[in-house]
Structure 1
Amino acid sequence: MSEIKIQRASSDDAKEILSLLKVIGSESDNLSFDENGLSVTEKEEADFLSSIEHSDREAFFVARKASEIIGTAHYTAFSKKRMAHRGEFGICVRKSECGKGIGSRLLEEVLRFAKEVARSEIVSLEVRSDNQGAIRLYKKFGFEKTGCFHGFFKINDELIDFDIMEKML
Structure 2
Amino acid sequence: MGQFEPVQIVAKSGANFIIRHGVEGDASALITLATQCIEDGEGQIWVPGEFNLTEEQEREWIKGLRENPNELLLVAEAEGNIVGVMDFHVGKRKRTCHAGMLGTAVAKDWRSQGVGSALLGEIIKWAKSNPEIEKLSLRVLANNHPSIGLCKKFGFQQEGYGRKEVKLGPNEYLDDVLMCLFVG
TM-score (norm 2): 0.85
| Overall identity of the aligned pairs, in % | 26
Does 2:109 match 1:96? yes
Equivalent residue number for residue 159 of structure 1: 173
Q: Distance in 1 between matches of 2:27 and 2:131?
A: 23
**What's the secondary structure of 1:84's corresponding residue?**
coil
Shift of 1:37: 6.1
Does 2:54 match 1:41? yes
Change in 2 beyond 3 A, CA 1:46/1:109 = same
User: Which segment is superposed worse, 116-125 or 97-106?
Assistant: 116-125
Q: Distance in 1 between matches of 2:126 and 2:45?
A: 23
Structure 1: tracts of 5 or more residues without a match: none
CA offsets 1:110-146 (integer angstroms, 9 cap, x no match): 2123232373111111111111111110000000112
User: Which segment is superposed worse, 136-145 or 36-45?
Assistant: 36-45
**What's the secondary structure of 2:43's corresponding residue?**
coil
- Alpha carbons 1:7, 1:62 under 8 Å: kept: yes
User: Which segment is superposed worse, 70-79 or 37-46?
Assistant: 37-46
Does 2:125 match 1:148? no
Indicate which of 18, 23, 26 corresponds to 1:13.
26
Give the length in aligned residue pairs: 169
**What's the secondary structure of 2:150's corresponding residue?**
helix
Q: Report the aligned-residue RMSD.
A: 1.6
Equivalent residues in 2 for 1:68-79 (5 A)?
68-79=81-92
